[in-house]
């Protein structure tokens, strides 16, 4: 009879220990999941803040100078087009380099689906900046040719106008590539938004 009691007691103790271990495991899993979710949200917020900072410091200023170049082109003030394009290129170059550095920073971390999406997003941002940098180069080139053609007594068979037209065509090609990169960027951004939503629901 005593052995039976001891056996029952032993079984009870084992069951209690198992229940405690199971509870610890559940709490650990929940904590780990919660911590992982928190880490991902913090990562996303941190990267978003860095992107906004790059946009404020250089990307927006580049676009402002590019817009001024366009206005000067309409006014046929080609020297000012060149000046504004040079300033725009400087900022496009800086923002492109800043995005490359940010991409490298993420690549050095432990990878997950969210980080991979951000890498893809920033890669498109690099392409966007690069295309606009090159578009400005062609815009400058066209303006130099047009400045010669319209501001100087050029001979009838001068090729400056034709060369300017060629530069504008190349500029438009780069702008087309820029627009495609923006479309890809927006698709990836939508995926990131969905991924964050899924993370927060878990």
Mean pLDDT of 67-80: 96
Distance CA 50, CA 47 (A): 5
pLDDT, averaged across the chain: 82
pLDDT one-digit tens code per residue, 19-55:
433 343 333 433 344 446 777 777 888 888 999 999 9
Closest CA to 188 of 117, 119, 116: 117
Architecture of domain 2-201: Up-down Bundle (1.20)
Distance CA 147, CA 131 (A): 24
- Is the Cβ–Cβ distance between 118 and 191 less than 8 Å? no
How far are the Cα atoms of 15, 40, 131, 136 from residue 51, in angstroms, in the given order? 54, 16, 18, 23
Distance CA 167, CA 171 (A): 6
CB-based burial of residue 173 (10 Å sphere; 0-12 exposed, 13-18 middle, 19+ buried)?
middle
Q: How confident is the model at residue 202 (pLDDT cuts 50, 70, 90)?
A: low
Closest CA to 121 of 66, 47, 64: 47
- Is the Cβ–Cβ distance between 194 and 113 less than 8 Å? no
- Is the Cβ–Cβ distance between 98 and 117 less than 8 Å? no
pLDDT of residue 151: 79
């Amino acid at each position: 009879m005593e052995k039976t009691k001891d056996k029952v007691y032993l079984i009870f103790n084992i069951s209690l220990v198992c229940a405690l271990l199971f509870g610890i495991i559940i709490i650990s899993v929940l904590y780990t999941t919660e911590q992982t979710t928190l880490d991902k949200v913090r990562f996303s917020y941190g990267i978003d803040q860095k992107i906004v900072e790059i946009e404020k410091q250089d990307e927006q200023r580049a676009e402002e100078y590019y817009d001024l170049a366009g206005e000067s082109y309409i006014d046929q003030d080609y020297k000012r087009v060149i000046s504004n394009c040079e300033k725009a290129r400087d900022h496009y170059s800086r923002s492109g380099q800043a995005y490359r550095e940010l991409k490298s920073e993420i690549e050095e971390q432990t990878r997950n689906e969210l980080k991979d999406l951000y890498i893809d997003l920033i890669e498109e941002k690099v392409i966007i900046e690069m295309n606009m940098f090159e578009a400005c180069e062609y815009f400058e080139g066209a303006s130099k040719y047009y400045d010669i053609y319209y501001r100087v007594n050029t001979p009838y068979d001068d090729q400056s106008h034709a060369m300017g037209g060629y530069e504008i065509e190349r500029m438009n090609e780069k702008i087309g590539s820029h627009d495609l990169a923006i479309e890809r960027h927006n698709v990836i951004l939508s995926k990131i938004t969905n991924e964050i939503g899924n993370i927060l629901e878990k």
